[in-house]
Amino acid sequence: MQHWLMKSEPAVFSIDDLARKGVEPWDGVRNYQARNFMRESMRIGDGVLFYHSNCKEPGVAGIAEVASKAYPDPSQFDRSSNHYDAGSPRAAPRWWLVDVRFVRKLARVVPLAALQRDERLGDFALTRRGNRLSVLPVTTSQWRIILAHERQNA
């Protein structure tokens, strides 16, 4: 099993939204590296840290899991979607997604600031300056360290 971190703006789609829906397609990813992680590396059952970004307190808010194999993101073909891509042919789709299943909310959000201070995370993509990827690999060690923060005092 592999581990991932997937970012979402809580005003658009939060961990509470995923809890309500149960399973949801992770659509709208328009970065080739993030797409490649979903299309080529993610497997059903992989663990996902659900990360709230672009909000007052960015951080890991919950746990999910990959619930499907990758498949073409239908929003790329929908002219009414903000994620429409006129250059993506149906015969060879450019953008892919996986479905994500809710596992649980964390007892508290693990803030980005705490992760940035934790040297045990090593060269973690999330804490690198300028990182904008919405889908990131997480090592097993990083996964355990991040989840250990849930039980620590802020």
Q: How many domains does the chain have?
A: 1
User: Which range of residues forms the domain containing residue 119?
Assistant: 3-150
Tell me the C-alpha to C-alpha distance, in Å, between residue 105 and each of 50, 78, 109, 141. Answer: 9, 32, 9, 20
Q: Give the pLDDT confidence score for residue 153 in this predicted structure.
A: 61
Q: What is d(CA 83, CA 77) in angstroms, rounded to the nearest whole number?
A: 8
Q: Count the Cβ atoms, other than its own, within 10 Å of residue 31.
A: 13
| CATH at 146 | 3.10.590.10
| Phi and psi torsions of 36, nearest 5° | -65, -40
151: left (phi over 0), alpha (psi -120 to 50) or beta: alpha
- Over its length of 154 residues, how does the chain's per-residue pLDDT go in tens digits? 999 999 999 999 999 999 999 999 999 999 999 999 999 999 999 999 999 999 999 999 999 999 999 999 999 999 999 999 999 999 999 999 999 999 999 999 999 999 999 999 999 999 988 777 899 999 999 999 999 999 886 5
The answer to pTM > 0.85 is yes
Q: Give the pLDDT confidence score for residue 132 in this predicted structure.
A: 79
In Å, the largest CA–CA distance within the chain is 51
